[in-house]
Structure 1
Amino acid sequence: MELDLAGAELKSVLNRLRRAQGQITGVIKMIEEGRDCEEVITQLAAASRALDRAGFAIIATGLQQCLTDAEVGMKNGEDKDVMRARLEKLFLSLA
Protein backbone atom coordinates (compact mmCIF):
# COMPACT_ATOMS: atom_id res chain seq x y z
CA MET A 1 0.00 0.00 0.00
CA GLU A 2 1.42 3.33 -1.03
CA LEU A 3 1.11 6.25 1.35
CA ASP A 4 -0.22 9.49 -0.09
CA LEU A 5 -0.28 12.27 2.48
CA ALA A 6 -1.90 15.57 1.57
CA GLY A 7 -0.28 18.87 2.54
CA ALA A 8 -1.88 19.35 5.97
CA GLU A 9 -1.55 15.67 6.90
CA LEU A 10 2.08 15.60 5.81
CA LYS A 11 2.87 18.76 7.77
CA SER A 12 1.22 17.35 10.89
CA VAL A 13 3.10 14.03 10.70
CA LEU A 14 6.42 15.73 10.00
CA ASN A 15 5.88 18.14 12.90
CA ARG A 16 5.21 15.24 15.25
CA LEU A 17 8.31 13.41 14.05
CA ARG A 18 10.47 16.50 14.41
CA ARG A 19 9.10 17.05 17.91
CA ALA A 20 9.97 13.44 18.81
CA GLN A 21 13.42 13.88 17.29
CA GLY A 22 14.03 16.94 19.46
CA GLN A 23 12.74 15.17 22.54
CA ILE A 24 14.98 12.16 21.93
CA THR A 25 17.97 14.46 21.47
CA GLY A 26 17.00 16.10 24.75
CA VAL A 27 16.74 12.72 26.50
CA ILE A 28 20.22 11.75 25.32
CA LYS A 29 21.62 15.04 26.60
CA MET A 30 19.81 14.63 29.92
CA ILE A 31 21.28 11.16 30.39
CA GLU A 32 24.76 12.39 29.49
CA GLU A 33 24.38 15.20 32.05
CA GLY A 34 23.22 12.78 34.73
CA ARG A 35 19.82 14.45 35.13
CA ASP A 36 17.09 13.21 37.44
CA CYS A 37 15.57 9.87 36.44
CA GLU A 38 12.00 11.18 36.68
CA GLU A 39 12.76 14.06 34.30
CA VAL A 40 14.40 11.69 31.81
CA ILE A 41 11.46 9.28 31.89
CA THR A 42 8.97 12.14 31.48
CA GLN A 43 10.76 13.34 28.34
CA LEU A 44 11.13 9.79 27.03
CA ALA A 45 7.39 9.21 27.49
CA ALA A 46 6.64 12.44 25.60
CA ALA A 47 8.85 11.31 22.71
CA SER A 48 7.12 7.95 22.67
CA ARG A 49 3.69 9.61 22.51
CA ALA A 50 4.82 11.85 19.65
CA LEU A 51 6.02 8.81 17.68
CA ASP A 52 2.80 6.91 18.42
CA ARG A 53 0.67 9.83 17.25
CA ALA A 54 2.67 10.14 14.03
CA GLY A 55 2.21 6.42 13.43
CA PHE A 56 -1.52 6.59 14.12
CA ALA A 57 -1.87 9.55 11.75
CA ILE A 58 -0.12 7.59 9.01
CA ILE A 59 -2.30 4.53 9.61
CA ALA A 60 -5.47 6.64 9.72
CA THR A 61 -4.53 8.19 6.39
CA GLY A 62 -3.95 4.73 4.95
CA LEU A 63 -7.32 3.53 6.22
CA GLN A 64 -9.04 6.57 4.79
CA GLN A 65 -7.39 6.04 1.41
CA CYS A 66 -8.42 2.38 1.38
CA LEU A 67 -11.98 3.18 2.29
CA THR A 68 -12.37 5.90 -0.31
CA ASP A 69 -10.68 3.95 -3.09
CA ALA A 70 -10.88 0.17 -2.63
CA GLU A 71 -8.53 -0.44 -5.54
CA VAL A 72 -5.63 1.33 -3.78
CA GLY A 73 -5.38 -1.51 -1.28
CA MET A 74 -5.82 -4.24 -3.87
CA LYS A 75 -2.66 -3.81 -5.90
CA ASN A 76 -1.07 -6.99 -7.15
CA GLY A 77 -4.30 -8.94 -6.73
CA GLU A 78 -4.62 -8.32 -3.00
CA ASP A 79 -8.18 -8.93 -1.81
CA LYS A 80 -10.06 -7.01 0.88
CA ASP A 81 -9.40 -9.59 3.60
CA VAL A 82 -5.64 -9.54 3.02
CA MET A 83 -5.65 -5.74 2.93
CA ARG A 84 -7.66 -5.61 6.16
CA ALA A 85 -5.28 -8.04 7.86
CA ARG A 86 -2.26 -5.96 6.83
CA LEU A 87 -3.84 -2.73 8.11
CA GLU A 88 -4.87 -4.42 11.36
CA LYS A 89 -1.33 -5.70 11.87
CA LEU A 90 0.07 -2.20 11.32
CA PHE A 91 -2.42 -0.66 13.71
CA LEU A 92 -1.72 -3.24 16.41
CA SER A 93 2.03 -2.76 16.05
CA LEU A 94 1.53 0.69 17.61
CA ALA A 95 -0.80 -0.48 20.37
Structure 2
Amino acid sequence: MVGDDDAIAQVLNRLRRAQGQLAGVISMIEQGRDCKDIVTQLAAVSKALDRAGFKIVATGLRECMIGAENSGSEPALSQAELEKLFLALA
Protein backbone atom coordinates (compact mmCIF):
# COMPACT_ATOMS: atom_id res chain seq x y z
CA MET A 1 0.00 0.00 0.00
CA VAL A 2 2.98 2.22 -0.27
CA GLY A 3 2.18 5.41 -2.14
CA ASP A 4 -1.62 5.39 -2.00
CA ASP A 5 -2.30 7.91 0.76
CA ASP A 6 -6.07 7.92 0.20
CA ALA A 7 -6.34 4.13 0.50
CA ILE A 8 -4.12 4.13 3.58
CA ALA A 9 -6.31 6.79 5.20
CA GLN A 10 -9.46 4.77 4.44
CA VAL A 11 -7.97 1.58 5.88
CA LEU A 12 -6.79 3.37 9.02
CA ASN A 13 -10.22 4.93 9.45
CA ARG A 14 -11.90 1.54 9.19
CA LEU A 15 -9.44 -0.02 11.63
CA ARG A 16 -9.93 2.79 14.13
CA ARG A 17 -13.69 2.38 13.84
CA ALA A 18 -13.32 -1.36 14.45
CA GLN A 19 -11.08 -0.64 17.42
CA GLY A 20 -13.76 1.60 18.93
CA GLN A 21 -16.45 -0.99 18.25
CA LEU A 22 -14.35 -3.72 19.86
CA ALA A 23 -13.84 -1.55 22.95
CA GLY A 24 -17.62 -1.19 23.02
CA VAL A 25 -18.07 -4.97 22.87
CA ILE A 26 -15.66 -5.45 25.76
CA SER A 27 -17.52 -2.85 27.77
CA MET A 28 -20.86 -4.46 26.97
CA ILE A 29 -19.61 -7.84 28.17
CA GLU A 30 -18.22 -6.30 31.37
CA GLN A 31 -21.59 -4.63 31.99
CA GLY A 32 -23.45 -7.90 31.46
CA ARG A 33 -25.44 -6.57 28.50
CA ASP A 34 -27.83 -8.70 26.49
CA CYS A 35 -26.23 -11.38 24.31
CA LYS A 36 -28.12 -10.21 21.21
CA ASP A 37 -26.71 -6.68 21.53
CA ILE A 38 -23.18 -8.00 22.03
CA VAL A 39 -23.35 -10.31 19.03
CA THR A 40 -24.77 -7.52 16.86
CA GLN A 41 -21.91 -5.21 17.83
CA LEU A 42 -19.36 -8.00 17.37
CA ALA A 43 -20.70 -8.59 13.85
CA ALA A 44 -20.12 -4.90 13.11
CA VAL A 45 -16.51 -5.24 14.30
CA SER A 46 -16.02 -8.27 12.08
CA LYS A 47 -17.47 -6.47 9.05
CA ALA A 48 -15.24 -3.43 9.62
CA LEU A 49 -12.16 -5.65 9.80
CA ASP A 50 -13.21 -7.52 6.66
CA ARG A 51 -13.67 -4.26 4.77
CA ALA A 52 -10.25 -3.04 5.87
CA GLY A 53 -8.68 -6.33 4.78
CA PHE A 54 -10.39 -6.28 1.39
CA LYS A 55 -9.29 -2.67 0.86
CA ILE A 56 -5.69 -3.62 1.63
CA VAL A 57 -5.78 -6.57 -0.76
CA ALA A 58 -7.55 -4.60 -3.51
CA THR A 59 -5.12 -1.71 -3.21
CA GLY A 60 -2.18 -4.09 -3.27
CA LEU A 61 -3.58 -5.81 -6.34
CA ARG A 62 -4.03 -2.51 -8.15
CA GLU A 63 -0.53 -1.34 -7.25
CA CYS A 64 0.92 -4.71 -8.23
CA MET A 65 -0.76 -4.63 -11.65
CA ILE A 66 0.03 -0.98 -12.34
CA GLY A 67 3.66 -1.48 -11.32
CA ALA A 68 4.00 -4.49 -13.61
CA GLU A 69 2.39 -2.64 -16.54
CA ASN A 70 4.66 0.37 -16.08
CA SER A 71 7.83 -1.69 -15.76
CA GLY A 72 6.91 -4.36 -18.31
CA SER A 73 7.70 -7.05 -15.76
CA GLU A 74 5.67 -9.76 -14.12
CA PRO A 75 3.36 -8.73 -11.25
CA ALA A 76 4.95 -8.94 -7.79
CA LEU A 77 2.27 -11.43 -6.68
CA SER A 78 1.12 -14.44 -8.64
CA GLN A 79 -2.55 -15.20 -9.20
CA ALA A 80 -2.31 -18.03 -6.67
CA GLU A 81 -0.83 -15.68 -4.05
CA LEU A 82 -3.59 -13.12 -4.65
CA GLU A 83 -6.26 -15.81 -4.37
CA LYS A 84 -4.70 -16.98 -1.10
CA LEU A 85 -4.85 -13.44 0.29
CA PHE A 86 -8.53 -13.08 -0.60
CA LEU A 87 -9.37 -16.50 0.83
CA ALA A 88 -7.57 -15.65 4.07
CA LEU A 89 -10.23 -12.98 4.63
CA ALA A 90 -13.16 -15.34 4.05
**TM-score bracket relative to the smaller structure:** 0.7 to 0.9
Residue identity over aligned pairs, in percent, reads 58
- Residues 72, 23 of structure 1: alpha-carbon distance in 2 compared, 3 angstrom cutoff: farther
The one of 34, 53, 59 aligned to 1:61: 59
Match of 2:80 among 54, 60, 85: 85
Structure 2 Cα separation of the partners of residues 45 and 15 of structure 1: 18
Looking at structure 1, the residues matched to 23 and 81 of structure 2 have their Cα atoms a distance apart, in angstroms, of 32
Q: CA deviation at 1:16?
A: 0.2
Residues paired across the two proteins, number: 86
In structure 2, which of residues 15, 19, 33 is the aligned counterpart of residue 21 of structure 1?
Answer: 19
Q: Which amino acid aligns with 2:85?
A: L
Residue 69 of structure 1 aligns to a residue whose secondary structure is helix
User: 1:36–1:5: structure 2 CA closer, same or farther, 3 Å change rule?
Assistant: farther
Tell me, in whole angstroms, the C-alpha distance in 1 between the residues paired with 2:65 and 2:41: 36
Cα RMSD over matched residues?
1.6
Give runs of aligned pairs for residues 3-22 of structure 1, distance below 5 A: 3-22=1-20
Uncovered stretches (5+) of structure 2, i.e. residues with no partner: none
Name segments (4+ residues, structure 1) moved above 4 Å.
none
Distance in 2 separating the partners of 1:13 and 1:55: 8
Alignment equivalent of 2:42, drawn from 41, 44, 53: 44
Cα deviation per residue 1:17-39 (whole Å; 9 max; x = unaligned)? 00000000100010010000010
Given the two structures, how large is their TM-score scaled by the length of structure 1? 0.83
